[in-house]
Amino acid sequence: MNRTWETAARAACAALFLSTAGAVAQERTAVEEIERYRQALADGNPAELWEARGEGLWKQKAGPKNASLEQCDLGLGPGVVKGAYAELPRFFADTGKVEDLESRLVTCRMTLQGLTAAEARKDPFGSTGKKVVNDALVAFITSESRGYVMNVKTAHPKEAEAFEIGKKIFFHRGGPYDFACATCHGVDNIRIRLQDLPNLTKKGDAQRAYTSWPAYRVSQGELRTFQWRLEDCFRQQRFPHLEFTSEASVALTLFLAKNANGAPYNAPAIKR
């Protein structure tokens, strides 16, 4: 039911914005009201509960090797968490791959804690009654980069390659709706239901969007990570399932993260 609605809403997007000036003014007020609602909620952002749980999990010994993740190298050296997220995704020499935060955590849980790849990738996203490790760790690590200026590099050839792949995915049209990410996120003033969609081809929008994930989704009562955001965008486009920590998801993340360069990182945030 919900999904059908979304489809209809997307199709109606263009029509809605051809409405009269009065209606547009009213819409703006609604957007401002939602913004006020967000500010009111930010005071007690439940994302802090995930941050606290994540900090505990980071320091807690776990896995067959009974080790904590405190020696995990997030790109700034083993154990350095502060500011690490503002420079991810990046190339890691030990795995020979470009990794984003979530794929790097999978690597660390395998190398440090001795989990198998399947165990480390299992259950990336939480739901009511099911708490998972990934989103809590992401909340903690991202919170340690709050205020750091986004600085994603493409100096390494693999990083430059990932950026180009990410860009291709962003503009690639396909699926039963003949959709691309850019269909919704490459134009100004598009929305789904009441949500304004950022135009990710514009610097300001791209920065505001990327630096506000992960976020606590009030309507779902869960903290949602950036990989979750991408996965759900793929679902909404009726694309094939975007596999958690896949190269495609990392490349797309790198493309979007690099476009946010220069902006101070400001999450975990809170969204409707």
Partner 1 sequence: MADPMKIRASMSGDKVEVKVLMSHDMETGQRKNSKGETVPAHFIQHVSATHNGKVVLSAQWGPAVSKNPFLSFKFAGGKAGEKVQITWTDNKGEKRSDEATIS
Instruction: Return the bridge partners of 98, or none.
Output: 91
Is residue 123 a contact residue for partner 1 (CB under 8 A)? no
Task: Kindly state whether residue 2 participates in binding partner 1, applying the rule CB under 8 A.
Answer: no
Answer yes or no whether residue 77 interacts with partner 1 by CB under 8 A: no
By the rule CB under 8 A, 221 interacts with partner 1: yes
75 or 126: whose CB is closer to partner 1?
Answer: 126
As measured in angstroms, the least distance from the Cβ of 128 to partner 1 is: 5
Which residue is associated with the tokens 């989704």? 217
CA distance linking residue 40 with residue 43, whole number of Å: 6
213's enclosing H/E stretch is: none
Query: Using the rule CB under 8 A, is 79 a contact of partner 1?
Result: no
181, 259 contact by CB (below 8 A): no
Rounded Cα gap, residues 70 and 61, in angstroms: 9
Q: Does 48 bind partner 1 (CB under 8 A)?
A: yes
Stretch that binds partner 1, among 23-31, 46-54, 169-177, 202-210 (CB under 8 A): 46-54
233 is catalytic: yes
- What CA–CA distance (Å, rounded) separates 69 from 140? 12
CA distances to 15, 101, 141, 154 from 68, rounded to whole Å, are 53, 17, 14, 31
Piece of 49-57, 75-83, 88-96, 258-266 that binds partner 1 (CB under 8 A): 49-57
Q: Which residue matches tokens 């750091």?
A: 148
Q: Which is nearer to partner 1, 12 or 49 (CB)?
A: 49
Footprint of partner 1 (CB under 8 A): 43-46, 48-49, 52-53, 128-129, 221
The residues carrying an active-site annotation are 233
